[in-house]
Chain A
Amino acid sequence: MELPESNSTGDDKSVGFEAAKKIILRWDSTASEDAKEKMIFESDRQEADLYLQAVDEIQRSLSNASLSDDRSKATTIQIAMARLEDEFRNILITNTAALESESLTDPTSSSSVHSHLSSRSSNFEPEEEFILNTEKLLELEHCESADSSRGRSTSSIREMDLMPPEAICDLHAIAMRMISAGYLRECVQVYGSVRKSAVDSSFRKLGIEKLSIGDIQRLAWEALEGKIRRWIRAARVCVRILFPSEKRLCEQIFVGVGTSIDDDCFMETVKGPAVQLFNFAEAISISRRLPEKLFKILDVHDALMDLQPDIEVVFDSKSSDSIRVQAAEILSRLAEAVRGTLTEFENAVLREPSGPVPVGTIHPLTRYVMNYIGLISDYKQTLIELIMSKPSTGSRYSGDPTTPDMDFAELEGKTPLALHLIWIIVILEFNLERKSKQYRDASLGHLFIMNNIRYIVQKIKGSPELREMIGDDYLRKLTGKVRHAATNYQRATWVTVLYCLRDEGLHVSGSFSSGVSKSALRERFKTFNAMFEEVHRTQASWIVPDTQLREELRISISEKLIPAYRSFLGRFRSHIESGRHPENYIKYTVEDLETAVLDFFEGCVVSQHLRRRSQ
């Protein structure tokens, strides 16, 4: 049924108006059960069109009519608006339900640099574990190139269609009427409340939880790590897909009615969720500075940094200032947290109180620190920008025995990050020295230092980035220390042993033998044997993990021991052999000793007695 054309002039186009009023009253849901049961916009198209035309008619006549009719018209309009509000809400709700079954996925492909790296910092499950099935969204997957460097354009934003176009059309039609009748506020409120619940349920699907700062502080680290990973993926989806899609929906529904309206609706919808999203990152930035958290904090920092340009684009209106500001604040707090955590790490390395390890091998602290440094160099790109000041070495040259000294003057031209790395190694060495003094056997202390510094050297050499940052000068210093420790070890162990094989003290003048004191000689052999056996027994159980170093050390020992023994034997064996029980004194051949040296630093327990080939 077509409404008759209304003429622009004149009187109360009563025919058009009356018919329109009838339509509106017919659909008054407070007046009839039938009106309440059915929805206009779920019925056929014609009903909806008719209704809208009726509303328009009333509106038109309201602006032209005389005062006396106003009240009933105003009531009619109110009834129409209340009805439209219901319809609006209904269309939103119906079409929102359809959306929720769509899957949401992280638009960053798993080949991005940092997600690869984060696999090294913890036991890492593949990116795919999170991703649900994604027919429609696969095209969004590959929008990121492998280069996930910062400051790129926001081509990473992808808007999804949240509603079928017919629904959007209807919503727009209704919104127009409501707004022109002065019912903008109701419209915005309904829109906001329905869409916000949609966003909330998407959040739940993405695994974004409502965690307080207290909750996060109480979480065990492994649990928190998992949540951080999930958050990073979720944040990318929210900022790059979810929020922009909502924004576009607002723009589509409220097109042509002034930009601030769609802004307001957008903010109604996403402000709360956005703040909730960022609250998590904020909580991370506030948490206690535990060294093991450094890399996850860096991950959050980098993820947020990556999202900055997109955040600027999505939240570009005046009313969303606070969100942009909060994101920037959080980013800078995360940077602070990174710096603080690094400092805390340095303190922890300095303080670490455990004793030395048995058999002088690599201390877990050394492994941990070198592993940590390795990860630092992986995250070099970000850290170089974040670490801006030299390490605070506290008392430099203060003579304070509790902190090492470091002269930064000779390290000109290095980035602060590199200085920190060197400082960390200096602290580690310092701590290791402290530990080495706790060995009862000084030789073992030296071996310990030798092994650990060697480990450090090898780790640095094994990583080009690390080597480049630490520099060959310092590397040389460290290598020198290894050598020095080896020398110390040799002196500590072998000087006394070789002392047995010296010439002096054996020759006696005026004796009727060939000038050698047999008793002294026997003493010497006995002492040598005992000492060597002891050293052999002990040091066979010691460990030098580095194969090359082990070989070198053994060779170095042999080089001193074997010729000395051979020469001693050569000069004095006859004196012993001419006496009684020579086998008690000359227990070992040169070959025996050579073989025995091979046992050194193998880390195994040998039987009390050396193998003997003699006799």
Chain B
Amino acid sequence: MPATDYQGTSSAPFSNFGRSILSLRRDQVHAMEGAHDGGVQVDELEAFQRQVADLFLNLSSASASEELLSLAWVRKLLDSFLCCQEAFRAILYNNSAQVLRPPMDRLIGEFYERSVKALDVCNAIRDGIEQIRQWEKLLEIVLCALDNNDQRALGEGQFRRAKKALIDLAIGMLDEKDSGQTLAHRNRSFGRNSNSSHASRDHHHRSLGHFRSLSWSVSRSWSAARQLQAIGSNLAAPRGNEILATNGLAAPVYTMGSVLLFVMWAMVAAIPCQDRGLQVHFNIPRQFVWAAPLLSLHDRIVEESKKRDRKNACGLLKEIYQMEKCSRLLSELADSVQFPLTEEKEAEVRQRVKELAQVCETIKEGLDPLERQVRELFHRIVRSRTEGLDSLGRGHHPE
């Protein structure tokens, strides 16, 4: 792997050492080890890089049960983050003296600033999870309406009930910019001869307007896209002189910062939140062992976001897609049925309902644990930052 995309400014030439992230000459590496007091253990740093790489490779190999961007996969992603975080914390702990010395103290301070910005993303994601819950509740109405368990024939009444909920869902899942158009559509489709001149008196309309504006607990000006930009600002691979000056610790700091950015970015991609923008650049030198798997995941997610039927999605979570698809199919079905239902139609409805029930089940099971994980992420980030800042504070002696 040629080091073509790495701009090193240090005078030492950079040669490849296969998996050695530091890409320093062996003698330079040895010079760091055992340098003055408590030299950093290079093995520890390399182990960390490998661990991160392994976690990302694992995430890349999406199995059937943990398809990319499914709830299960997102939870795996968060777990991976927590692992990295713990390993990173251990490194800082084991090298606490080095951490206090410049320029490492500045680098770690920047990292903590970055991690605070991630906290707002965590909170926004919790909001998004709540949003998904609301949608799932609407689907439960549909299931309740069309569930044929008690063997009664499905009639117009049940379909009207289901349709009402499906329309609410469609509106709820819209991107804000499209909502005006579809509200009008809803008024029209709702009754055989109602017209939209009474829109102002349409109580549904009023409360649905609420649906969107109330759902975010952040101010209107908050933007997930901007927050991600802020997390990623000035995140640049450490130069050779920085690595030397920090006895190698600059590398794990950069790694952790990149992991943080990626995880936050992926969450924003998957879960609805205010002003979701996915334009974040990941400029990671290929020497880092984890760069390839992380970047490939990034590319796959970006690709997913560009697909025709996912372009306007409010979240790339697989289960959201399934909700959309199932509910759309059911909607079309509901629009097309004549009463009484033919056996064929009834079978089709039953099939769709079954699929929908499956999605609801998955969501119901997965959302609560996901929310807890996000909260755990929040806690760990706070704790690690508090510990870190406290020890930085202690370490500063008067002039």
Q: Which residues of A contact B (CB under 8 A)?
A: 29-31, 36-37, 67, 70-79, 81-82, 86, 89-90, 93, 182-183, 185-186, 189-190, 193-194, 196-197, 200, 209-215, 217, 271-272, 275-276, 279, 286, 288-289, 322, 329, 333, 336, 340, 343-344, 347, 350-351, 353, 392, 394, 400, 402-403, 431, 434
Contacts and interface: CB of A to CB of B under 8 A. Distances in A.
A288 B389 contact: yes
B316 to A, nearest CB: 23
A463 B215 CA distance: 52
Given A71-B340, A213-B119, A213-B123, A93 B206 contact: yes
A78 B217 contact: no
A70 B219 contact: no
Contacts of B389: 288-289
Given A81-B161, A89-B203, A193-B211, A210 B219 contact: yes
Contacts of A271: 130
Interface in B119-135: 119-120, 123, 126, 130
Interface stretch (B17-25, B151-159, B302-310): B151-159
Nearest to B143: A185
A37 B126 CA distance: 40
A406 to B, nearest CB: 16
Given A193-B207, A213-B120, A272-B217, A67 B394 contact: no
Given A78-B161, A79-B157, A89-B207, A212 B214 contact: no
B116 interface: yes
A36 B117 contact: no
Interface of B: 116-117, 119-120, 123, 126, 130, 137-138, 140-141, 144, 152-153, 155-158, 160-161, 164-165, 190-194, 198, 201, 203-204, 206-207, 210-211, 214-219, 222, 227, 230, 339-340, 371, 379, 382, 385-386, 389-390, 393-394, 396-399
B152 A340 contact: no
Nearest to A275: B217
Contact of A196 (B141, B152, B214): B214
28 contacts: A71-B157, A75-B157, A75-B160, A79-B157, A79-B160, A183-B161, A185-B140, A189-B137, A189-B141, A193-B210, A213-B120, A213-B123, A214-B227, A272-B214, A279-B217, A286-B119, A289-B390, A289-B393, A329-B379, A333-B382, A336-B386, A340-B386, A344-B393, A347-B393, A347-B394, A347-B396, A351-B396, A431-B398
A434 to B, nearest CB: 8
A211 B220 CA distance: 10
Contacts of A351: 396-399
Residue of A81, A193, A434 with most chain B CB atoms under a 10 A cut-off: A193
B260 to A, nearest CB: 15
A275 B129 CA distance: 14
A275 B165 CA distance: 27
A286 B219 contact: no
Contacts of B390: 289, 340, 343
A193 B137 CA distance: 13
Contacts of A82: 160-161, 164
Contacts of B339: 71
A414 B153 CA distance: 80
Given A74-B157, A79-B157, A336-B386, A210 B218 contact: yes
A343 B396 CA distance: 12
10 nearest interchain CB pairs?
A30-B191, A71-B155, A78-B157, A75-B157, A74-B157, A210-B219, A276-B217, A402-B397, A212-B120, A74-B155
A350 B230 CA distance: 34
A347 to B, nearest CB: 5
Nearest to A188: B137
Contacts of B191: 29-31
Contacts of A77: 157
Contacts of B153: 67, 70-71
Contacts of A392: 394
A353 B399 contact: yes
Contacts of B396: 347, 351
Nearest to A431: B398
A298 B138 CA distance: 43
Contacts of B160: 75, 78-79, 82
A197 B216 CA distance: 12
A494 B40 CA distance: 58
Given A211-B219, A271-B130, A340-B390, 16 more contacts: A37-B198, A71-B339, A93-B207, A193-B210, A193-B211, A193-B214, A194-B210, A210-B222, A212-B222, A215-B219, A275-B126, A275-B217, A276-B217, A289-B389, A353-B398, A353-B399
A36 B116 CA distance: 52
Residue of B120, B215, B371 with most chain A CB atoms under a 10 A cut-off: B120
Contacts of B219: 209-212, 215
Nearest to A190: B207
Contact of B116 (A30, A67, A214, A403): A214
B198 to A, nearest CB: 6
A183 B165 CA distance: 12
Residue of A76, A185, A271, A400 with most chain B CB atoms under a 10 A cut-off: A185
A70 B340 CA distance: 12
Given A70-B153, A74-B152, A272-B214, A30 B397 contact: no
Residue of B116, B203, B207 with most chain A CB atoms under a 10 A cut-off: B203
Contacts of B138: 189
A25 to B, nearest CB: 12
Contact of A30 (B192, B211, B379): B192
Nearest to A194: B207
A79 B379 CA distance: 49
A36 B190 CA distance: 13
Contacts of A182: 144
A156 B371 CA distance: 33
A212 B218 contact: yes
Nearest to B385: A286
A23 to B, nearest CB: 16
A242 B95 CA distance: 51
Given A70-B153, A347-B393, A36 B201 contact: yes
B393 A403 contact: no
Contacts of B398: 350-351, 353, 402, 431, 434
Contacts of B164: 82
Given A75-B155, A75-B160, A286 B137 contact: no
A476 B139 CA distance: 76
A558 B137 CA distance: 91
Contacts of B230: 214
A77 B206 CA distance: 24
Contacts of B152: 67, 70, 74
A372 to B, nearest CB: 17
A394 B396 CA distance: 11
Contact of B155 (A70, A81, A200, A353): A70
Nearest to A81: B161
Given A67-B153, A70-B152, A77-B157, A185 B137 contact: yes
Nearest to A337: B386
Given A212-B222, A279-B123, A90 B203 contact: yes
Nearest to B230: A214
Contact of A74 (B123, B140, B158, B198): B158
Contact of A78 (B158, B207, B210, B227): B158
A30 B379 CA distance: 51
A203 to B, nearest CB: 10
A333 to B, nearest CB: 7
A199 to B, nearest CB: 9
Contacts of B397: 351, 400, 402-403
A288 B390 CA distance: 10
A210 B124 CA distance: 12
A194 B204 CA distance: 11
B190 A30 contact: yes
B116 to A, nearest CB: 7
A72 B192 CA distance: 18
A392 B393 CA distance: 12
